[in-house]
Amino acid sequence: MNDIQDLFSNKLCIRCTGRIFASVDTGLTNYDRGLKLAFAHNAFFGHVEIPERCYICNGIFDNLNMYLNMALEAINSMEFSTFLIGSKFDPDILLEEQKIQNKYGNKGESIKKEFNREFGKYFSEHTGKEFSKNPDILIEINTVYDSVNLIVRPLYIYGTYLKKRRDIPQTRWINGTGDSIESLIGEILIKHTGGKNYKLHGSGREDVDVMMLGNGREFVMEIDEPSIRNVDLKEFMEEVNASNSGIYISCLEFSTKDKIREIKEATYDKVYMATVECDQEISRNKLESTCNALKNQVISQRTPVRVIGNRADLIRKKEIKYINIEDIHDKEAVIKICSQSGTYIKELINGDNGRTVPSMSSIYGKELRVKNLDVIKIMR
């Protein structure tokens, strides 16, 4: 019983007193626990004096409506379905509270935890929005300065793209100038979402001068701080496809951050159509022998000279499934190549001065070069 008397000597409010034993007698609120403790004190020691202003909570639980209005003002017209509450409290207050709870067996919870839970309930009741551990927005209440900070989860949209031109990269240049697949899709998406920025995550990439045809390449667009989440994907797709940019998107759906990792880690065989040229007339027999020699062959490719500044200098083993001749005319041939994901096709053909072994050029016996190259199918 002396512990009860000592407990109220801390001059805490009913709620903060009850929170000292938050893990005891579950099913009650901290305020209810405090009332039970106060009743016990009154029964044995007389009426307990409760301070008008508690130095731990400072009456914060009476101001939930103020924080609600502050949060709604910060959110404004931003679309969201789910939320999570976070908060910042004076570190000295949290330390003082912990000292008191340690004195009584460390069976409580912090004011920060209780505030997040109780304000979360209050916010949900007044907005109809749902709590989530992976929310559209994190609402962080700074109780020291009575301010609100919003952390908005990016919006992720999955799809596939076709690239029917030979003069643009997949992603933006560092200086941000010039067209890219990323910018041609992203600038239109910004209009539809009200976002602050965008980033394209592709399942691999093709060179600037390579077209992406066939069933297209998978991508995920990440949009920072969108104010509109319920995007009309059909309308967005049609605007991109009607923009005469040479970029066409399809199969759009809302996605998650996990999809980025999924498409980045995917390993698909790819089918290419290449126009190959030589300084001399191409021999069908020699080219057929070359293609047959590489069928189901595992080649060694050291990182090409043309990309060595951007990639680690490694030797990669890649399997060539087949190379078929589609057409031969004088000094040019059209061939179809199916290879393992990550194969450098230009270097498979030209040999890259011996960095790809074997290569078509080394087997054919003459220098072969790529005139045009297209990705025509990704074997998903």
- Residue 51 and residue 36 in one domain: yes
Q: Does one domain contain both 102 and 191?
A: no
Residue 25 designated active-site: no
Q: Which of 179, 207, 209, 269 is catalytic?
A: 207
Closest CA to 378 of 325, 326, 341: 341
Q: Do 143 and 60 share a domain, yes or no?
A: yes
Burial of 322 per CB tally in 10 Å (0-12, 13-18, 19+)? middle
Q: Of the residues 152, 183, 210, which one is the last residue of a structural domain?
A: 152
Looking at 218, 249, 265, which one is the last position of a domain?
Answer: 265
Q: Could you tell me which of 343, 201, 193, 317 has the C-alpha nearest to residue 265?
A: 201
Range of the domain at 299: 270-378
Residue 121 Cα distances to 31, 82, 118, angstroms: 16, 13, 5
Ramachandran area for residue 236 (φ above 0: left; ψ -120 to 50: alpha; else beta): alpha
Exposed / middle / buried, residue 104 (Cβ in 10 Å: 0-12, 13-18, 19+): middle
* pTM for this entry: 0.89
Regarding whether 171 and 159 lie in a shared domain, the answer is: yes
Same domain for 148 and 160?
no
Q: Tell me the longest C-alpha to C-alpha distance in the chain.
A: 110
Separation of CA 374 from chain center: 29
What's the CATH code of the domain at 349? 3.30.70.3190
Residue 109 sits in the same domain as residue 181: no
What CATH code is carried by the domain that includes residue 174?
3.30.70.2510
What does the block give as tokens for 379?
Answer: 């074997």
Shared domain for 204 and 298, answered yes or no, is: no
Contact 325/335 with Cβ under 8 angstroms? yes
58 and 112 co-located in one domain: yes
Domain end: 221, 248, 265, which one?
265
Residue 224 and residue 275 in one domain: no
Q: Is 299 helix (H, G, I), strand (E, B) or coil?
A: strand
List the chain pLDDT tens, one digit each, 380 residues. 557 888 988 999 999 999 999 998 788 999 999 999 989 888 777 777 888 899 999 999 999 999 999 999 999 999 999 999 999 999 999 999 999 999 999 999 999 999 999 999 999 999 999 999 999 999 999 999 999 999 999 999 999 999 999 999 999 987 767 899 999 999 999 999 999 999 999 999 999 999 999 999 999 999 999 999 999 999 999 999 999 999 999 999 999 999 999 999 999 999 999 999 999 999 999 999 999 999 999 999 999 999 888 888 999 999 999 999 999 999 999 999 999 999 999 999 999 999 999 999 999 999 999 999 999 999 98
Calpha distance 351→359 (Å, rounded): 5
- Beta strands, E only, the chain: 82-88, 130-131, 137-142, 147-152, 155-163, 197-202, 211-224, 247-255, 270-277, 297-302, 315-329, 332-339, 356-357, 369-378
Q: Indicate whether 8 and 106 sit together in one domain.
A: yes
353 and 366 in a common domain: yes
Verify that 233 and 301 share a domain, yes or no: no
